């Protein structure tokens, strides 16, 4: 009995030690640490004259989340001065009013609930358009009580494929509906043409067609306020190393193919996925469209917006602001910040950083939009907050 007990103790100790070793190696490889709870803005660095404050808090938070429905706020929009935000794993679209104009949300109101991982939201001509994982719907609020009117839900696009990248982003532009859907995998040939693509339809969901393809996971969509051109972020594939392939900003044209899964960045052929022998560059030869801007690999760019407010200095007018959600399969973490891109030079500059410090992560920016007063709202699905970035006039 004593010998068996000793063997049992030895075996338990061995298993425990093995688990510890695996966890340590995994943490070292992925380069992540548990999140640190703080004031929400402590340590965030901005250019001179800018200030960041917490507009809303306690909207859902977690230690680092990778690959599942996010616990906190994601995509945002403003309607009649009210901030709307999706919270996917709560199944709600929320409203965060600021009635006393102190730049802090007074409460969280539920506009609509019991949804299937809602993500994208937009408004047009009396209708609120919402993209869930499995469908796109629209609802009304004709009585103005900030609750979607019962019985007004219309299912516009149903039976969307699920699994893989679960987020769906929806935008309305010039009377047409745009829907972005990520891939079902890291890298593969999709059987459903709506995966890894942006589709377009009439406002009622009819005439649904693929608008642009070869886009592994374009979570952020933004129309240029002057030209009307469509821009999108793209998250590149994993497991090609710390610095390959680049994440991307793409200018989307109808009928364009942006390369995934065979090509990435400036039309670099992915021989890890496609090892067929070719002469020349098959990406160029097949008319794939290269990225507009290459970003640091594994930064996970999500939401983006063009700055067209009147609060920030002139140098920021027309800049593209992009949220980097942050890396997960990189030995040295990267991202976890907001950058601005000068659209004349395409130069990328850090704008708000500090959510990543010495491999410790305190937040993950998701979406960024321009508020009515010209400030920026930024959602953080890991800390469960929405920030407001303003410029203090001198």
Domain assignment present for 17: no
DSSP string, 79-141: ETTEEEEEEGGGTEEEEE--TT-SSS----EEEE-S-SS--EEEEETTEEEEE-SS-EEEE--
Q: State how far Cα 337 lies from the chain centre.
A: 12
For residue 80, give its domain range. 31-391
The Cα–Cα gap between 378 and 96 comes to 13
The Cα–Cα gap between 175 and 172 comes to 7
Domain assignment present for 280: yes
Residue 33 has pLDDT above 70, yes or no: no
pLDDT for 63: 52
Residue 258 has pLDDT above 70, yes or no: yes
Domain assignment present for 40: yes
Residue 39 has pLDDT above 80, yes or no: no
Residue 35 has pLDDT above 70, yes or no: no
Is residue 184 within 8 A of residue 163, CB to CB? The reply is yes
Residues 6+ apart with CB under 8 A from 188: 261
Domains contained in the chain, number: 1
Residue 1 has pLDDT above 60, yes or no: no
> Helix, strand, coil: what percent of the chain each, to 5?
10, 35, 55
Domain assignment present for 8: no
Q: Which two tokens stand for residue 313?
A: 């200095």
Min mean pLDDT across 27-36, 91-100, 235-244 is at 27-36
**Average pLDDT, rounded, for the chain:** 90
Look-up of token digits 């400036």? 266
Domain assignment present for 325: yes
Q: What is the mean pLDDT of residues 230-241?
A: 97
pLDDT for 31: 40
Residues 6+ apart with CB under 8 A from 135: 116, 155, 156, 157, 158, 159, 160
Q: If pLDDT is split at 50, 70 and 90, which confidence band does 12 have?
A: low
Domain assignment present for 196: yes
Q: If pLDDT is split at 50, 70 and 90, which confidence band does 62 have?
A: low
Q: What is the mean pLDDT of residues 191-196?
A: 98
Q: What is the mean pLDDT of residues 204-218?
A: 98
C-alpha torsion sign, points 392, 356, 268, 322: negative
Residue 113 has pLDDT above 70, yes or no: yes
Residue 21 has pLDDT above 90, yes or no: no
Q: What percentage of the chain reaches a pLDDT higher than 90?
A: 82
Q: Which helix (H) or strand (E) holds 5?
A: helix 2-30
Per-residue pLDDT tens over the stretch 49-58: 999 999 999 9
pLDDT for 42: 86
The Cα–Cα gap between 77 and 46 comes to 23
Q: What percentage of the chain reaches a pLDDT higher than 70?
A: 87
Q: What is the mean pLDDT of residues 230-252?
A: 97
The Cα–Cα gap between 98 and 81 comes to 9
The Cα–Cα gap between 134 and 162 comes to 6
Residue 38 has pLDDT above 50, yes or no: no
C-alpha torsion sign, points 106, 112, 115, 120: negative
Per-residue pLDDT tens over the stretch 64-76: 555 566 679 999 9
Q: What is the mean pLDDT of residues 354-377?
A: 94
Residue 264 has pLDDT above 60, yes or no: yes
Q: Which helix (H) or strand (E) holds 20?
A: helix 2-30
The CATH number given to whatever domain includes residue 284 is: 2.120.10.30
Residue 192 CB coordination number (10 Å): 12
Residue 26 has pLDDT above 80, yes or no: no
pLDDT for 71: 78
Domain assignment present for 228: yes
Give the three-class secondary structure for 18. Answer: helix
Min mean pLDDT across 61-70, 124-133, 142-151 is at 61-70
Residue 205 CB coordination number (10 Å): 18
**Higher per-residue pLDDT: 19 or 60:** 60
Domain assignment present for 11: no
How do beta strands 221-223 and 230-234 pair? antiparallel
Is residue 376 within 8 A of residue 370, CB to CB? The reply is yes
Per-residue pLDDT tens over the stretch 312-338: 999 999 999 999 999 988 889 999 999
């Amino acid at each position: 009995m004593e010998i068996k007990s000793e063997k049992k103790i030895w075996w338990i100790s061995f298993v425990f030690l093995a688990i510890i070793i695996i966890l340590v190696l995994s943490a070292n490889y992925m380069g992540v640490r548990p999140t640190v709870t703080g004031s929400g803005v402590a340590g965030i660095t901005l250019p001179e004259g800018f200030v960041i404050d917490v507009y809303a808090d306690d909207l859902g938070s977690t230690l680092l989340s990778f690959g599942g429905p996010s616990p906190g706020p994601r995509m945002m929009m403003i309607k009649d001065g009210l901030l709307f935000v999706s919270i996917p794993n709560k199944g709600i679209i929320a409203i965060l009013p600021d009635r006393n104009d102190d730049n802090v949300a007074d409460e969280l109101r539920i506009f609509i609930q019991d949804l299937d991982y809602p993500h994208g939201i937009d408004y047009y001509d009396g209708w609120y358009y919402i993209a869930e994982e499995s469908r796109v719907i629209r609802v009304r609020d004709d009585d103005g009580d900030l609750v979607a009117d019962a019985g007004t839900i219309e299912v516009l696009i149903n039976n969307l494929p699920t699994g893989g990248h679960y987020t769906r982003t929806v935008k309305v532009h010039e009377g047409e509906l745009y829907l972005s859907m990520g891939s079902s995998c890291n890298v593969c040939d999709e059987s459903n043409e709506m995966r890894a693509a942006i589709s377009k339809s009439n406002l009622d969901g009819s005439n649904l067609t693929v608008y642009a393809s070869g886009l592994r996971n374009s979570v952020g969509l933004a129309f240029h306020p002057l030209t009307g051109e469509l821009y999108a972020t793209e998250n590149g594939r994993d497991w090609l190393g710390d610095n390959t392939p680049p994440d991307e900003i793409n200018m989307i044209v109808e009928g364009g193919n942006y390369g995934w899964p065979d090509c990435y960045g400036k039309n670099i052929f992915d021989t890890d996925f496609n090892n067929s022998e070719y002469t020349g560059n098959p990406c160029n030869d097949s008319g794939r469209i290269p990225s507009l801007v290459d970003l640091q690999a594994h930064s996970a760019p999500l939401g983006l917006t063009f700055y067209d407010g009147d609060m920030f200095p002139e140098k920021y007018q027309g800049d593209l602001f992009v949220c980097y959600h942050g890396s997960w399969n990189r030995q040295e973490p990267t991202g976890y910040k907001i950058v601005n891109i000068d659209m004349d030079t395409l130069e990328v500059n850090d704008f708000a950083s500090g959510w990543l410090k010495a491999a410790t992560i305190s937040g993950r920016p998701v979406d960024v939009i321009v508020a009515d007063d010209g400030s920026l709202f930024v959602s953080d699905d890991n800390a469960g907050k929405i920030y407001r970035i303003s410029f203090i006039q001198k």
